């Protein structure tokens, strides 16, 4: 359950304890803890983007999360 529209990318944290998903259509990112058996555990975070750039007027009316990736040390989600 990505809790947003159009999930388009997922990323496993370097330590294998968290998984994040980007929702392109919903403009959000969700993070879940993983159980030892690899199943999704509790929700660890949810980020709803509210700002967007309208460089080309009329083209974009909402934010779109295109992807997620973890920093090599696993401290940051980008």
End-to-end CA distance of the chain: 20
Helix ranges (H only) for the chain are none
The confidence score (pLDDT) of residue 56 equals: 67
pLDDT digits (tens, 9 = 90+) for 43-66: 999 999 887 776 667 767 778 889
pLDDT digits (tens, 9 = 90+) for 10-47: 999 999 999 999 999 889 999 999 999 999 999 999 99
Residue owning tokens 């370097």: 14
The confidence score (pLDDT) of residue 67 equals: 96
pTM for the full predicted model:
0.86
Please enumerate in sequence order all residues whose Cβ is within 8 A of that of 10, keeping only pairs 6 or more positions apart, or say none. 19, 20, 21, 22, 68
* Strand 7-12 with 28-34, pairing: unpaired
């Amino acid at each position: 359950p990505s809790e947003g529209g159009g999930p388009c990318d997922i990323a496993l944290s370097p330590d294998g304890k968290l998984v994040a998903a980007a929702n392109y259509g919903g403009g959000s990112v969700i993070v879940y803890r993983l159980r030892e058996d690899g199943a999704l555990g509790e929700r660890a975070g949810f980020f709803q983007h509210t700002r967007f750039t309208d460089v080309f007027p009329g083209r974009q009316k909402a934010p779109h999360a295109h992807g997620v990736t973890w920093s090599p040390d696993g401290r940051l989600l980008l």
